Chain A
Amino acid sequence: MELRAYIIRRLLLVVPVLFGVTLFIFGITMLFSPLERATLYVTNIRQLTDLPAIVEKYGLDKPFFVQYGTWLGQVLRGNLGWSQVVSMPIAEAIPHLLPATLELAIFAVPVIILVGIFFGTKSAAHKDKPLDHGTRLVAIMGWSLPSFWLGLILLMIFYGYFSGLLPPGRLSTEVSIFVDLPGFTRYTHINTIDAILNLNGRVLLDSLRHLILPVTTISVINMAFIMRLMRSSMLESLGKGYILTARAKGLPEKVVVNKHARRNALIPVITVSGYLFAGLASGAVITETIFSFKGIGWWAWQAAIRLDIASVLAFALFTATLFVIVNLIVDILYTRIDPRVRLGGGVQ
């Protein structure tokens, strides 16, 4: 009962935030004059001569809140405007490009979390020893690396020096033609998963070949964060009374660290993994840009440099909504994982 009340309260808190997000996004578009905004409705170059008519038709010179109401109504009905970059409605562009982004996230998140947990534990268990300093140095290096530069270096080596070994893009040209032929069913548009479902080794290998570098780039940059979190969480856990008890019982150090301390230290890491996935799913803009991995991050970048404001703002709105929802889910899961989390209302 208590949990249900908590969930309802959290849901109610989400509403004003999402309302504020839409108001903010709409406020930004209103910085432009009605004529400038009319160009956002242009899908065909010939319409450019009729801008005043468009202003008239869509009421672009009406008061702020009237226009906001109209706009919000459209957004809620799934009409987000037109994307010039991919020449289709934004509401179609996002689901069209999302599989590529999800594919990156599906491969990167487990790598980041497993490696982060492993080294974070090691680092904490050997605090202030050379192993700890070494791991931390590598982690901080990864954290300080400009992802765009790392991507270029990786391409320089694995695409340039090893002539075409690991190319940019999502699929090689001939394979990308093949996957659109009738013999290959696109279940999910996530290439690796489709390849497995179609039992096609060639497509699988080709998509993996294109995934290695972007996944490496994302992982190196994000791993440090998990490692750091795991380390401090482990250090906290190792200082607890039950660890002293476990050691006093004469349990081997390995068991103490891996069983007793780590289990409790994992909780914050699991929480953050939720945000990590949301962050990557909302588009690894830089990585997708460098590797021409055409997901929603790449699309947002294209829109930003081509001044396709409607798409950029729709993308921001999409990511913010995703973040808020994931935040909510993580918070609710948290109450299940960690019974110490009080469901509001002070000490009982």
Chain B
Amino acid sequence: MSEWKLTGRQLVRNPLSLVGLVIIALFIVIAIAAPFIAPPPEGHRDPYMIPRDGYWAEPQPPSKDHIFGTTQGQYDIFYGVIWGTRTAFRVALVVISVTLLIGIVLGSLAGYFGGVIDEVIMRITDIFLAFPSLILAMALVSVLGQSLRSVMIALIIVWWPSYARLIRGDILQVREEDYVEAARGLGASSFRVIIRHVLPNAIYPTLIMASLDIGAVVLTAAALSFLGLGAPEGYADWGQMTEFARNWIVGPIGEPLKYWYAVLIPGLFILFFVLGWNLLGDAFRDIFDPRLARR
């Protein structure tokens, strides 16, 4: 337990990770309170679809009705970024948890049994890791068809091999410990040994690293949406909202920055969300780096 206290103290003492914690907490509050911060208009069917105020293209500046203005197609920017927080968390949680599950199962099998099983699983991860991740995700989404679900499936396919490898490595370290040997000696089944003795002692670092990958997952998902391969039009999604602004980066003559709000605001939400997780992740990486001495 003192290990966890020490980790916690290091996180709070480091100003950068403290800022990260605060940012993440803010986003969690926004996601939970979305229906109160930006209540969907009455009779609005799907709260994740951004309500629109008209159909003309040109973004409208912030006003009393739309405090962040409207983007191309009169979608309300404030509503979009608030509900987009929920979209971000949803994509990240689904992708990370499914990826972890696949990673834990395959990584445990490979690490615990070794031999042929290990060889086969590791060669499969080699194949997936041979692709640059964004490119593989892009190819998969274009095959699966444009939707948020395709984005999640693509990200899971791209992401699982790294976890499988991490967990395999953790397990290899623990496998030879005396208590594992003891459990085996007492006649416990392989399944029981893995679940009760090996995994609990092996996966905490990976679990933490995985949860910190939330930022990276959201960034990649936003990139796919920006490229026009993600959420359907009008869905509360930060990447897509940035894409809407693409035609409006240059205003009319004399007012070059006229549509700044449409470009700036959705991107700032992505930036701060990812920043929060990365600040925390950076501190964790220092704490877990075995090559650096702990004080």
8 contacts between A and B (CB under 8 A): A20-B130, A146-B242, A236-B291, A285-B135, A290-B246, A304-B141, A305-B142, A312-B138
Partner-A contacts on B (CB < 8 A): 15-16, 123-124, 126-128, 130-132, 134-136, 138-143, 215, 219, 222-223, 226-229, 239, 242-243, 245-246, 249-251, 256-257, 260, 263-264, 266-267, 270-271, 274-275, 278-279, 282, 285-286, 289, 291-293
With A20-B123, A312-B142 known, 17 other A-B pairs at CB within 8 A are: A20-B130, A140-B279, A149-B271, A152-B249, A156-B249, A156-B257, A160-B251, A161-B256, A232-B285, A232-B286, A239-B293, A286-B227, A304-B138, A312-B138, A312-B139, A316-B139, A320-B130
Whether B249 and A285, one on each chain, are in contact in the complex, defined by CB atoms closer than 8 angstroms, is: no
Please report the C-alpha to C-alpha distance between residue A146 and residue B285 in the assembled complex, in whole angstroms: 22
A76 within 8 A of B: no
Contact B139–A147 (Cβ < 8 Å): no
Q: Do A153 and B267 form a contact, CB below 8 Å, given A20-B127, A144-B274, A159-B249?
A: yes
Residues in B neighbouring A232, C-beta threshold 8 A? 285-286, 289, 291-292
Chain A facing B: main interface SS: helix
The answer to whether B229 touches A159, judged by C-beta atoms less than 8 angstroms apart, is no
B-contact 0/1 string along A302-313, CB 8 Å cutoff: 011101010011
A214: interface (CB < 8 Å): no
A183 within 8 A of B: no
Top 4 nearest A-B pairs (CB, nearest first) are A149-B267, A20-B127, A160-B250, A144-B274
CA distance A141 to B19 in the complex (A): 13
The residue from B131, B256, B271 contacting A316, defined by CB atoms under 8 A apart: B131
Taking beta carbons and an 8 Å cutoff, which residues of A are in contact with B? 16-18, 20-21, 24, 28, 31, 133, 136-137, 140-141, 143-149, 152-153, 155-156, 159-161, 163, 228, 232, 235-236, 239, 279, 282-283, 285-286, 289-290, 300-301, 303-305, 307, 309, 312-313, 315-316, 319-320, 323-324
Interchain CB contact under 8 A, A149 and B138: no
B126 touches A20 (CB 8 A): yes
The total of Cβ contacts below 8 Å across the A-B interface reads 156
In the complex formed, the residue of B with least CB distance to A150 is: B267
User: A305 contacts which of B228, B260, B275 (Cβ < 8 Å)?
Assistant: B228
Please determine whether A17 and B123 come into contact, CB atoms closer than 8 angstroms: yes
Complex contact A239–B139 (CB within 8 A): no
Cβ–Cβ contact A17 & B278, under 8 A: no
Interchain CA distance A19-B136 in the complex, whole Å: 17
With contacts A144-B215, A155-B249, A324-B130 taken as known, whether A283 is within 8 angstroms of B226 at the C-beta atoms is no
Contact across chains for B135 and A315 when beta carbons are under 8 A apart? yes
Complex CA gap A18/B123 in Å reads 11
Which of B124, B143, B228 meets A20, CB within 8 Å? B124
A152 to B267 alpha-carbon distance, docked (Å): 10
Does A149 lie within 8 Å of B270, measured CB to CB?
yes
Minimum Cβ distance to chain B for residue A296 (Å): 10
Q: How far is the CA of A155 from the CA of B248 in the complex (A)?
A: 11
Please determine whether B270 and A283 come into contact, CB atoms closer than 8 angstroms.
no
Separation of A232 and B275 alpha carbons in the complex (Å)? 20
Q: Which of A161, A235, A307 sits near B292, CB closer than 8 Å?
A: A235
- Most chain B beta-carbon contacts within 10 A, residue among A148, A155, A228: A148
The answer for the CA separation of A137 and B226 in the assembled complex, in Å, is 26
Which of A18, A140, A144 gathers most chain B CB within 10 Å? A144
A312 surroundings in chain B (CB, below 8 A): 138-139, 142-143
Q: A239-B292, A320-B131 are in contact. Are A146 and B271 (CB under 8 A)?
A: yes
Whether A160 contacts B270 by the Cβ 8 Å rule is no
Complex alpha-carbon distance, A304 and B141, angstroms: 8
Interfacial chain B residues near A31, Cβ < 8 Å: 143
Contact A148 B292, CB 8 Å, known A16-B123, A153-B267: no
Name the B residues within 8 Å of A148 (CB-CB): 222-223, 226-227, 239, 242-243
Cβ contact within 8 Å between A140 and B282: yes
B139 touches A304 (CB 8 A): yes
Q: Which residues of B contact A307 (CB under 8 A)?
A: 142
How distant is the Cα of A308 from the Cα of B293 in the complex, in angstroms? Answer: 52
Q: How far is the CA of A146 from the CA of B242 in the complex (A)?
A: 10
Shortest distance in angstroms between B288's beta carbon and chain A's nearest beta carbon?
11
B28 to chain A, nearest CB (A): 18
Residues from chain B with a CB closer than 8 A to the CB of A305 are 142, 227-229
Known: A156-B257, A286-B227. A145 touches B132 (CB 8 A): no
Structural contact, A140 and B278, CB atoms closer than 8 A? yes
Residues of A within 8 A of B285 (CB): 232
Q: A140-B279, A159-B250, A319-B135 in contact; A133/B15 too (CB < 8 A)?
A: yes
Q: Is the CB of A300 within 8 A of B135?
A: yes
Bound-state Cα–Cα, A305 to B145, Å: 10
With the chains together, A156 CA to B142 CA distance in Å? Answer: 29
Residues from chain B with Cβ under 8 Å of A18 in the complex: 130
Q: How far is the CA of A92 from the CA of B270 in the complex (A)?
A: 38
User: Which residues of chain B are near A301, meaning CB under 8 Å?
Assistant: 138, 227
